[in-house]
């Protein structure tokens, strides 16, 4: 059996940065609950992306949840959310007993369609917040989206779980809205094994998020809680891994871009293939190299052919409004997201891949056009 090629797996630094910080946590016996690594990881990531403050949390999902709370989203409130995303974007809306309304994509960005967003505001004027996703590392059209949201006076939460290290018009994704969230899950561009971060220029709100995330423990000699709390804080060991990973973020972005350009050069001329759109104002992190197929070769053909050779790939996200749990909630759009789901495939984009690995992937895909 050929050696497994993964879609996107953890990639620790060659320099061993992560172990230096983890060892420090062990040497000082400060592995939990918080500690210097947590404090420094927050400062270092905030500095990296250009945000005033950050809160290190146990997951990106938890970060979205607390961003919604910080935005004042409560029971019965409406929250607009892209339909083409992973369920972790939408689930926290339900945690708050709020009501998601799903917004379609456009073909120009694969992200939230500004025209559909405007239509949604006309249909649902009482909206508390808008969640924007930067899918596969591609930036949404933030100027248009922010203008619409400001006009309607709603809070914007950027789900930048997939886009850390990417830019929109020179500004880090995750820093254009009121709140931004990042994920450090095992498949992300950098990983802490599991974890997330909330960033904002509102120091007071970030402090409140930290408070909620540590069980809302009041400042008192005894254990006292005046608000509902959550066990969402990142551990000092995990944060040590994150500090080391942050040092190689730029290297990882460069490799992801190299992988995307390799595929585009080798496969882009084949009949029916179109790669994910990169706009002139967008500097993606190319988290996953993704393409659509409209000819005789279908996504399932590619996925099955690669799997036979021990190569991992996967479909584009299935839209939320098509998911059994969410299908009864509102949807605004023309079906672009459904089309992307039906025609899309994510190619192996692991930063440990060699040129030989890339050639192996390409060879197996090209073979389908020769049959």
Question: Residue 242 sits in a domain of what CATH number?
Answer: 3.40.640.10
Q: Are strands 53-57 and 78-82 parallel, antiparallel or unpaired?
A: unpaired
Distance CA 110, CA 340 (A): 8
Sheet harboring 127-133: ordered strands across? 53-57, 196-200, 179-183, 155-159, 127-133, 78-82, 99-103, 330-332
231 lies in some domain:
yes
Domain for residue 3, yes or no?
no
For residues 36 and 52, membership in a common domain is answered with yes
Whether residues 297 and 228 share a domain: the answer is no
* C-alpha span between 147 and 162 (Å, rounded): 23
Q: Which among 198, 85, 187 is positioned nearest to 138, based on CA atoms?
A: 85
Please say whether the beta carbons of 205 and 9 come within 8 A.
Answer: no
Give CA angle at 140 (136, 145), nearest 5°: 155
The pLDDT value recorded for residue 34 is 86
On whether residue 266 sits in a domain, the answer given is yes
Structural domain includes residue 65: yes
Range of the domain at 255: 249-370
Which residue from 210, 209, 165 is spatially nearest to 184, judged by alpha carbons?
Answer: 165
Claim to verify: residue 266 and residue 158 sit in the same structural domain: no
pLDDT of residue 65: 98
Number of domains in the chain: 2
Same domain, 270 and 134: no
Compute mean pLDDT per 10 residues along the chain, 371 residues long, and list them: 93 97 93 90 98 98 98 98 98 98 98 98 98 98 98 98 98 98 98 97 98 94 95 96 98 98 98 97 98 97 98 98 98 98 98 98 96 76
């Amino acid at each position: 059996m050929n050696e497994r090629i993964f879609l996107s797996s953890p990639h620790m630094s060659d320099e061993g940065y992560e172990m230096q910080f983890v060892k420090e946590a062990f040497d000082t016996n400060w592995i939990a609950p918080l500690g210097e690594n947590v404090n420094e990881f927050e400062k270092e990531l905030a500095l990296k992306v250009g945000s005033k403050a950050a809160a290190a949390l146990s997951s990106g999902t938890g970060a979205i949840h607390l961003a919604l709370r910080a935005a004042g989203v409560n029971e019965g409130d409406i929250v607009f959310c892209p339909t083409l995303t992973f369920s972790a974007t939408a689930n926290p809306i339900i945690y708050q007993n709020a009501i998601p309304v799903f917004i379609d994509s456009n073909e120009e960005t694969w992200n939230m369609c500004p025209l559909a967003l405007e239509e949604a505001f006309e249909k649902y004027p009482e909206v508390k917040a808008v969640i924007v996703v930067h899918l596969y590392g591609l930036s949404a059209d933030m100027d248009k989206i922010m203008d619409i949201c400001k006009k309607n006076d709603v809070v914007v939460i950027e789900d930048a779980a997939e886009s850390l290290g990417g830019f929109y018009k020179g500004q880090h994704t995750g820093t254009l809205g009121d709140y931004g969230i990042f994920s450090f899950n095992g498949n992300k561009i950098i990983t802490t094994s599991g974890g997330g971060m909330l960033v904002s220029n509102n120091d007071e709100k970030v402090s409140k998020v930290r408070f909620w995330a540590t069980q809302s423990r009041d400042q008192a000699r005894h254990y006292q809680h005046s608000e509902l709390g959550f066990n969402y804080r990142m551990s000092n060991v995990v944060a040590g891994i994150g500090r080391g990973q942050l040092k190689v973020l730029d290297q990882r972005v460069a490799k992801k871009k190299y992988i995307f350009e390799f595929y585009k050069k080798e496969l882009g001329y084949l009949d029916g293939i179109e790669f994910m759109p990169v706009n002139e104002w967008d500097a993606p992190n190319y988290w996953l190299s993704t393409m659509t197929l409209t000819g005789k070769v279908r996504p399932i053909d590619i996925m099955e052919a690669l799997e036979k050779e021990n190569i991992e790939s996967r479909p584009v996200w299935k839209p939320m409004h098509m998911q059994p749990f969410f299908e009864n909630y509102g949807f605004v759009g023309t079906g672009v997201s459904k089309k992307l789901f039906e025609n899309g495939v994510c190619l192996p984009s692991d930063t440990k891949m060699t040129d030989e690995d890339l050639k192996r992937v390409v060879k197996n895909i090209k073979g389908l056009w020769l049959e």
